[in-house]
Copies of this chain bind each other. A is one copy, B any other.
Amino acid sequence: MPKVTIKDVAAHAGVSVATVSAVVNDADWVTDATRARVRRAIAELGYRPNRVARSLKTKEAYAVGAIVSDITNPFFTEVIRGLSHALQETDRNLFLCDADHRFDLGDAHLDMLIEQQVDGLVIIGDSVREASLASYLRRRSHVPVVAIERDYTIDRVSCLLVDSEQGAYDATTHLVEQGFRRIALIAGPEEGAGSMTYGRATRTAGWRRALDNAGLPSSDDWVARGTFRYESGATAMRDLLSRPERPDAVFVANDMMALGAMHALHQMGLRIPDDVALIGFDDIPVSALVAPPLSTMAMPKRRLGRAAHELLRAHIEHGPGYDAVRRTFEATLQVRSSSLAPAPVIS
């Protein structure tokens, strides 16, 4: 079965290729009679339009590219699911690239996606360096770009962020309200200085504001640092427990580390939340599954994905010269057992 093209259909239906194209694209000038004839020919021959040829002509790829910093991270896959669904509804394909935390891979993928003429780009997490992206956008076609959970200060790049400071504040305040008084923090990598301005970096600020607000201490004696990965959470927890004064609660900057902390606590025979309470950030699916279920700040993951698509579509339709958008979403408190006051026993 040699591929059947629009010409074959035209011949089979006894019309011109222009006409076939018209009925495929729902042009309004085709007679019902011929339309039916063409439709029948299409069905009989099993014709499917060739998107590649169409793209070449229309200069639309009917596809967007996405680069994600870590496809095995549950947080990101939820975002991708949201994006993917939205895309599917507008009949667009998704080029998905996994950078696996490697910037060189991210750059390589960026290259390919541009060559692939995608009509939009979404960057999820920290997968592409600011400099790489900026230089691409400057010297090459300026495709619309929207970033999720990554804060770029590049012209024409829209950013979808989560209000980490406020989220951290809410999480910590929740701990305060539950009666905890020695509230430690397991933060992400050292911020400030030359480091990039993640949303996450400000989680420390939110924690501090909440404690200041409650008249509780927020000195560096109460903070340990991790790398956002599971193991580093365990290490940080052990670090915290080895200090002179033991915390009775810990706010952890993301769930993966909180899970690690939980593991360390279990190992040392400490109970959660009775001995040490815990609250995380991200609300990855696993967090509800561990014992005890982990309290956390929930992010609108699917919505982030969908929003990225909507923005992209708006940018694409608007053509060059749109205004980059910068939108921040709220994280909402998700209370589970790990952060509850020990006094009134919860079943």
Contact = CB atoms under 8 A, between A and B. Distances in A.
A291 B289 contact: no
Contacts of A141: 1, 3
Interface in A136-161: 139-142
A171 B85 CA distance: 37
Contact of A100 (B50, B61, B85, B117): B85
A241 interface: no
A88 B109 contact: yes
A261 to B, nearest CB: 11
A216 interface: no
Nearest to A288: B230
Contacts of A263: 289, 291
A44 B3 CA distance: 40
Given A115-B51, A117-B52, A140-B48, A78 B84 contact: no
Interface stretch (A90-98, A172-180, A306-314): A90-98
Contacts of A98: 80-81, 84-85
A14 interface: no
A74 B71 contact: no
A94 to B, nearest CB: 6
A56 B52 contact: yes
A259 interface: yes
A72 B74 contact: yes
A105 interface: yes
B95 A93 contact: yes
A94 B80 CA distance: 14
A193 interface: no
A266 interface: yes
A140 B140 CA distance: 37
A93 B108 CA distance: 11
A80 B71 contact: yes
Contacts of A235: none
B77 A91 contact: no
Interface string A84-128: 110010010111111010000100110111111100000000000
Interface in A37-73: 46, 48-53, 55-56, 61, 63, 71-72
B80 A116 contact: no
Nearest to A115: B51
A189 interface: no
Interface in A225-247: 230
A38 B52 CA distance: 27
B46 A139 contact: yes
B50 A117 contact: yes
Contact of A84 (B1, B48, B71, B80): B71
Given A81-B71, A289-B259, A49 B115 contact: yes
Given A48-B111, A93-B113, 6 more contacts: A81-B100, A85-B98, A93-B95, A266-B291, A286-B286, A290-B290
